[in-house]
Amino acid sequence: MSVTTTQTMTEAPTFVEATLDGRVPAGPVQTLWERTKFDMKLVNPTNRRRFKVIIVGSGLAGGAAAATLGEQGYNVECYAYQDSPRRAHSVAAQGGINAAKNYRNDGDSIYRLFYDTVKGGDFRSREANVYRLAEVSNAIIDQCVAQGVPFAREYGGMLDNRSFGGAQVARTFYARGQTGQQLLLGAYQALARQIAAGTVKMFNRTEMLDLIVVDGRARGIVVRDMCTGEITPRLADVVVVGTGGYSNAFFLSTNAKGCNGTAIWRAHKRGAYFANPCYTQIHPTCIPPVGEHQSKLTLMSESLRNDGRIWVPKQPGDTRPADQIPESERFYYLEELYPSFGNLSPRDISSRAAKRQVDSGRGVGPLRNGVYLDFADSINRLGQKVIADRYGNLFDMYDNITGENAYKTPMRIYPAPHYTMGGLWVDYYLMSNIPGLFVIGEANFSDHGANRLGASALMQGLADGYFVLPSTLPNYIAANKLEKIDENADAVKEAVANVNDITQRLMNTNGTKSVDHYHRELGKIVWDYCGMSRTAQGLEKAIQLIPELEAEFWENVRVTGTAGELNQELEKAGRLVDYFDLGRLMCIDALDRNESCGGHFREEYQTPEGEALRNDEEYTYVAAWEYAGEGEMPLLHKEPLEFETVKLATRSYK
């Protein structure tokens, strides 16, 4: 695996003329998962401790998987770059988690959650996976309540629900504005119990930097101790990657600064297909940037749109404060353009609508780069205490960041990179095309198509970790004879040498500019040309600019410190090297997909009303890209998507 600088790519991608098989069993989706669980092979409880499972990532997906497999009796090693699993970025999720309990008796069902998710993803997801997700959603709530997760409750003690975008029922369970934190604490206590029992070994401050593939199977990882710099191989029978998404390719995103795509990208370079990298989600309710100095952006939960109304001045260029603009001169654009869903329209539609308003000169705030999220009507109707009970910590956070009291004046919001629907390709069993490499949570592509509905990320992470992977992983172990390997195997030594080579090359740079300088420049390119809207001309320009910036990076970056110590500059540099290649693949995928769908909006393909215009005849497939070597165009594999239960239709929220 060379680390030579990538050259500019101008030729078209090569399509591999073979159908990629998602290994979905035959039969109706309504009974598919239960039948599949019965048909899969099992591992005898007394034999499970003989098998070692490596899990990379300790968030909701990884932490839940480690706890569950440990309790089943497997020998589990869990790796996280944080100093504690409690600091995984799942902790930052705010609004809630979906489930089809139908406690409000408002027409919800497993089928409706399935339908809403397929439709919300703009018909670019695998039906079987989505139905399974909806099917296990109810068990997730039962599991979390049993763990003591303090979901909000109504006066009588029943679990409360609220609405999220893209749905006309109230199915979202929540814990004020800190649902992710509470769910993560539930998963963490289950994980801690298994650590104490000895079934799980936890390795904090340890980063995966390569995948070890022996005889075509994933058999381990190469890690760096982030405190000492020691680089070592860790071997196992199965590797599970649950390291989240790659929104930080944009530099400015709602993700924590440590979130990165290195684990999935290094696995991709070892042969794992990368699916739909251009499917990125821009969240409509974030605090707008205030200048060039910022290093990240802050999410304001989508749940706020239950009680907040989004508007801009009708008159472009209106600079009056919000309280001086009369009701008749306000444009509640989501309510007027999408009356059926209003302020709870899906994220991709809401984000593009906000962009259109700001681009038309109706932006608000000092930089005219936001829209208003106004709670005045709800406060007048319900009282400030009710709003504070629902969203108090979010209002406090907004006040701390902006110095503005959102109880008195509207919040200012604007879309920002938040989540990535793309990820490593997996089959129905959550295994990649590399046998023995399973990918869970946001790190895979499987459930959300071209646009994720709000409150579905936590649902997928816990579904994969608690319920799906613990059923499918034993099937792989039981069906294959896994020979023992040791650290002297050629593939192991080559992977370790590769990590050492990359590390040494980064440390040998002696330029004058920081890693953050180049990451910010890369982020601008990806945001400008592969962000909320894309064009063929812009994408072609980005594909040219990114390798040029990468070449300059290798010539003029400066990585301070040494490799044998805690060195955050070295960590950031290694991750940025991967973002150069990943950012380019995002643009290649977006350029190759000549349609608009969900979060992928090509300006050339839109309806007269400015909505996404799909091309179902040519693009109803998963684009799974194969790494072909440094400087080479990736190879394209296509997994056809079939819609037998939910028929293809033009998505409408009007």
Measured at the alpha carbon of residue 356, what is the angle toward residues 355 and 361, in degrees to the nearest 5? 100
CA distance 186 to 180: 10
What is the DSSP code string of 477-498? HHHS------TTSHHHHHHHHH
Of the CA atoms within 13 Å of residue 358, those in its CB half-sphere come to 23
Q: What is the pLDDT of residues 178-196, one digit of tens each?
A: 999 999 999 999 999 999 9
Find all residues with CB under 8 Å of 185, minimum gap 6, and list them: 86, 149
440: nearest Cα among 453, 424, 418: 424
Torsion of CA 93, 95, 101, 107, to 10 degrees: -140
The CA distances from residue 241 to 56, 261, 262, in Å, are 5, 11, 11
Q: Please give the DSSP secondary-structure letter assigned to residue 207.
A: E
- Give me the amino acid identity at 318: D
pLDDT tens by residue, 149-171 = 999 999 999 999 999 999 999 99
Residue 181, C-beta contacts closer than 8 angstroms, at least 6 positions apart:
91, 92, 93, 175
Query: Considering the chain, what percentage of its residues have pLDDT values greater than 90?
Result: 95
Q: Residue 85, Cα to own-chain centre: how many angstroms?
A: 18
Q: Which residues 6+ apart lie within 8 Å of 436 measured at CB? A: 217, 218, 219, 237, 238, 239, 476, 480, 482
Q: What is the pLDDT of residue 19?
A: 84
* Model confidence pLDDT, tens digit, residues 55-83: 999 999 999 999 999 999 999 999 999 99
Confidence bin at 631 (pLDDT 50/70/90):
confident
Kindly tell me if the per-residue pLDDT of 1 is higher than 50.
no
Task: Decide if pLDDT at 208 tops 50.
Answer: yes
Residue 12: predicted pLDDT:
67
The CATH architecture annotation of domain 283-416 reads: Alpha-Beta Complex (3.90)
For the four alpha carbons of 614, 615, 620 and 621, in that order, the dihedral sign comes to negative
| C-beta of residue 474 within 8 angstroms of C-beta of residue 148 | no
- Residue 15: phi and psi, rounded to 5, are -90, 125
pLDDT computed for residue 176 by the predictor: 87
Distance CA 454, CA 344 (A): 10
Q: Residue 2: is its pLDDT beyond 60? A: no
* Percent of the chain's residues with pLDDT above 70: 98
| 627 token code pair | 């790494």
Q: Which pLDDT score is estimated for 149?
A: 97
β-strands 274-275, 280-286 pairing: unpaired
Cα 569 from Cα 577, distance rounded (Å): 12
CATH class (in words) of the domain with range 505-619:
mainly alpha
pLDDT tens sequence across 220-232 = 999 999 999 999 9
Q: What is the mean pLDDT of the chain?
A: 96
Q: What is the pLDDT of residues 589-604, one digit of tens each?
A: 999 999 999 999 999 9
Contact 646, 118 (CB under 8 A): yes
Structure tokens at 275: 């699916």
Nearest to 118 by CA among 134, 102, 98, 137: 134
| C-alpha 342: how far from chain center | 25
Cite the residue boundaries of each domain of the chain with CATH code 1.20.58.100: 505-619
Could you tell me which of 255, 456, 453 has the C-alpha nearest to residue 347? 453
pLDDT digits (tens, 9 = 90+) for 5-59: 334 445 667 777 678 999 999 999 999 999 999 999 999 999 999 999 999 999 9
pLDDT at 3: 38
Quote the CA–CA distance of 230 and 224 in Å, as a whole number. Answer: 6
Mean pLDDT of 385-408: 96
565 pLDDT exceeds 80? yes
Mean pLDDT, residues 450-475 taken together: 98
Smallest CA-to-CA distance from 133 within 420, 446, 476, 470 is with: 446
Q: Which position has the token pair 């070592």?
A: 232
- Stretch 290-306: mean pLDDT, rounded? 93
From CA 183, how far away is CA 181, in angstroms rounded? Answer: 6
- What residue spans of 179-252 are helical by DSSP H? 179-197
Q: CATH 3.90.700.10: which residues of the chain?
A: 283-416
Q: What is the pLDDT of residue 634?
A: 95
* 46: CB partners within 8 A, 6+ apart: none
Whether residue 469 contacts residue 438, with contact meaning beta carbons closer than 8 Å, is answered with yes
Closest CA to 267 of 77, 434, 499: 434
Helix H or strand E segment including 588 = helix 568-592
- Quick one: DSSP state of residue 551? H
- Interval 197-214 mean pLDDT: 98
N- to C-terminal Cα separation, the chain:
50
Q: How many CB atoms lie within 10 A of CB 234?
A: 20
CB 170 within 8 A of CB 137: no
pLDDT, position 15: 76
Give the rounded distance of the alpha carbon of 648 from its chain centre: 25
- Average pLDDT estimate for 345-371: 97
Residue appearing with tokens 């110590």: 565
**Whole-angstrom distance, CA of residue 231 vs CA of residue 501:** 11
Note the helical H segments in 299-383: 333-337, 347-357, 376-382
- Residue range 550-555: average pLDDT? 98
**For the residues of 32-93, what is the DSSP string, one character each?**
HHHHHHHHS----TTTGGG-EEEEE--SHHHHHHHHHHHHHT-EEEEE-SSSSGGGSGGGG-
Token pair listed for 406: 């959102």
